[in-house]
Amino acid sequence: MMIDDETLGAFIDGALDCGEHERVEDCVAREPALAARVAALRALGERIDADFAAIVIRPPPGSLAAPVATRRSMLNSWAPMALAAGFAGLTLGVFGAQWMRDGLLLFPADGEMRAGGMLSAALDGTPSGQTSGQVDLLYSVRAADGSVCRAFRVSSRAAAQEGAACRSGAGWRVVVLAASTSQGSGYVAAGADDTNSVEAAIDALDAGAPLSRIEEQRLIDGRWPPLVE
Amino acid sequence: MVRPEEDVRRLIVAAWPRLFRFACGLCGNRADGEDLAQSAVERALLAASRYRTGESMEAWLIHITRNLWRDGMRRRQVRGVVVSDEMVDVERPQAAQAEEHVMAMDALRAFAYLAPAQREVAAMILVEGLSYQEAASALGIPIGTVMSRLARARSALIERPNGHDPEIAPEGSRT
């Protein structure tokens, strides 16, 4: 029996009523040509899902950033993402938008914040105590899970921000980003109750003392190899 | 007290990732998709007082986004969108470009080659996950029309998995 593409599409979308669904299912089971077409339609759906999920989502425009008084409630709407990524603190809005333009951060679909070009390059190759572009590298630590994390400060046109990023795969996952405590700022970070949320985040990683200059240089030279168990 | 606009902001922020992908699907490339999604958000914020509590924020944003897209197309009087490697946002970090090239260009590129009427149905149903009925309501067309457009879109996407079709070049790619 010939079944058209519209019906097969509705079949895989679950949009047919019960009797019709069973009838199509029956035909598909018996006719290899139909089964092949259904497989092709399903494969297309999977490919679209995968390809669109891989699109790097950048943060919403700065106009979505709420005024200071409501920033906390605004941040609450990001909380699921922040929790999923294990952020100890995260501030977006004005800073985030600015950072995007400066190529400092990427914001992939899974809610993980990753260091973008300029920041990533600074984290990759600049020893602590030195500056690369807008980024000052503060120190590096080894977290309890073996990953290496680096604390940094960024002075952008808008304001200074401090953060920490941990080596993850081929890049850097930003685990905390907060208004620099050394500057007065009208904006508060999600972890504003902490006196210094970058320090708090580093503590939460159960990290030891900062790495020595020699240890750090070895990691830089080796392009941040994963810890061998 | 939370002002109504604050609720709208929160709902828009929550819907943002899906809106972003939907807009990319409509435009057939990420750079234009981002611009479209941002314009839609600006438009939605201006119209925030018209959003009725309880209404689906997603449907409202889709409606705004789709109208903006259609309007932009009418103004430019083009049928498709240029998709070329050169069009990938040159200001983005190299790493992001490479990543997207590998992972996200194929389906996106293929969308750019669909006729607009098919593309919006495909973006709504295949990317955004709307039901046939929801798409029909959003577009103001019968459900049967949604189904036939979707079938043609799927067929085209299967036949031209990477958007390459020597017979059909997207508008704007002419020299």
**What's this model's pTM, rounded to 2 decimal places?**
0.54
Nearest by CB to residue B103, choosing from A15, A41, A51, is A51
Write down the pLDDT at residue B84.
38
Q: How many CB atoms lie within 10 A of CB B140?
A: 6
| B112 sits in which H/E element | helix B105-112
pLDDT of residue B161: 63
Residues 6+ apart with CB under 8 A from B15: B57, B58, B61
How far apart, in whole angstroms, are the C-alpha atoms of residue B103 and residue B57?
29
- Give the tens place of pLDDT for each residue, A72-117: 333 333 333 333 333 333 344 444 555 555 566 666 545 667 787 7
Chain A partners within 8 Å of B8 (Cβ): none
Least confident of A19-33, A95-109, A187-201, B45-59: A187-201
A 168-187 near B (Cβ less than 8 A): 171
Note whether A52 contacts B: Cβ–Cβ < 8 A. Answer: yes
Q: What is the ipTM of this complex?
A: 0.76
Tell me whether strands A131-132 and A135-142 are parallel, antiparallel or unpaired: antiparallel
Buried/exposed code over B74-94 (b: 16+ C-beta within 10 A; e: otherwise): eeeeeebbbbeeeebbeebbe
What is the CATH number that goes with domain B85-159? 1.10.10.10
As to burial, measured by CB atoms within 10 angstroms (0-12 exposed, 13-18 middle, 19+ buried), residue A129 is: exposed
Predicted pLDDT at A34: 95
Asked if residue A199 has pLDDT above 80, the reply is no
The confidence score (pLDDT) of residue B33 equals: 93
Instruction: Evaluate whether A216 touches A128 at the Cβ level (below 8 Å).
Output: yes
Contact A126, A118 (CB under 8 A): no
Q: How many angstroms separate the CA atoms of B159 and B150, rounded?
A: 14
**For chain B, which residues make up each domain, given as ranges?**
4-76, 85-159
Q: Does A68 touch chain B (CB under 8 A)?
A: no
For the domain covering B4-76, report its CATH number: 1.10.1740
Backbone phi, then psi, for B38, in 5-degree steps? Answer: -65, -45
Measured from the Cβ of residue A107, the count of other Cβ atoms closer than 10 Å reads 23
Q: What are phi and psi of B105, to 5 degrees?
A: -80, -35
Structure tokens belonging to residue A209: 């003392």
Model pLDDT for residues A36-64, shown as the tens digit of each residue = 999 999 999 999 988 888 787 777 776 66
Mark yes or no for CB contact B100/A54 under 8 Å: yes
Residues in chain A closer than 8 A to B96 (CB atoms): 56, 106, 116-117
Between chains, do B13 and A60 touch, taking CB under 8 Å as contact?
yes
pLDDT attached to residue B25: 95
Contact between B104 and A52 using a beta-carbon 8 Å cutoff: yes
Q: pLDDT tens for residues A133-176?
A: 888 898 888 888 888 999 988 876 556 778 889 998 878 888 87
Q: What percentage of chain A carries pLDDT values higher than 70?
A: 66
Distance (Å, whole) CA B167 – CA B175: 16
Contact B104 A55 (CB under 8 A): yes
**HSE-up of residue A22 (Cα within 13 Å, Cβ side):** 2
Type of residue found at A122: A
Amino acid at A157: R
Structure tokens at B107: 């389906």
Q: What is the pLDDT along chain B (175 residues), one digit of tens a residue?
A: 445 577 788 888 888 888 999 999 999 988 899 999 999 998 888 888 888 877 888 889 999 999 999 888 776 654 444 443 333 333 333 444 444 444 445 788 899 889 999 999 999 999 999 999 999 999 999 999 999 999 999 999 998 766 555 444 454 343 3
Question: Can you say how many angstroms the Cα of residue A198 is from the centroid of all Cα atoms in its chain?
Answer: 17
